[in-house]
Structure 1
């Protein structure tokens, strides 16, 4: 589980979020995200959104605080990660599903729910 928690942290880092090659290594081809806004995105849409997000050049827009990071095994080769995010005062409760593949751990699903 420690490896998956480290990958979750990496995925939220500005360096990973602006590196399409690394994102394609971390996110499964069938990746789906339900954002804190309630919108649903697929892998290609997320890659485009993250490319636009990092377009400001300094990466500061990507800074995401992580709190209460924890994980649990749901089934062999499937880990759920739970944590709270804080990005410029916008907080959300988040969950991700990671699956062990022949190419290592890959995130298949992510969801964020706004916190007051």
Structure 2
């Protein structure tokens, strides 16, 4: 896959993780999150994959993704960076995710959300 196609694919996976259908489905989350997944949330809380596998999954959010960029780390690992806007609380967050390719699919291994200043 060329870099432009890979960037579009990973951005699509990030957007998929923002949808209610995926966020509330432990089965779908299990496919997109690596077994060793960890998140440092913008709230300051640390999440692991097992924390998101209950009935509620990752919970509902209204986030809009912008300023997506993909950075190649190796043949089977990438860093995605972007900004989100939370319609529920009016806050912006800077986000970064490490994705790795294993067993024929890309899975998120790490994610971090950092509160950001209001966008100009």
TM-score normalized by structure 2? 0.82
Q: Which of residues 4, 27, 39 is equivalent to 2:33? A: 27
The two structures, once aligned, show a CA RMSD in angstroms of 1.7
Give the corresponding residue for 1:57. none
4+ residue runs of structure 1 moved beyond 4 angstroms?
Answer: none
User: Looking at both structures, which has the greater relative contact order when contacts are Cα pairs under 8 Å and sequence separation is at least 6?
Assistant: 1
**1:3 shift after superposition:** 1.6
Gaps of 5+ in 1: 54-60
Once residues 22 and 81 of structure 2 are traced to their aligned partners in structure 1, the CA distance between those partners, rounded to angstroms, is 19
Instruction: Specify whether residues 20 and 52 from structure 1 end up closer, same or farther in structure 2 by C-alpha distance, changes over 3 A only.
Output: closer
How many residue pairs are counted as aligned between the two chains? 109
Give the corresponding residue for 1:75. 74
Structure with bigger helix share is 1
Once residues 112 and 52 of structure 1 are traced to their aligned partners in structure 2, the CA distance between those partners, rounded to angstroms, is 14
TM-score normalized by structure 1? 0.85
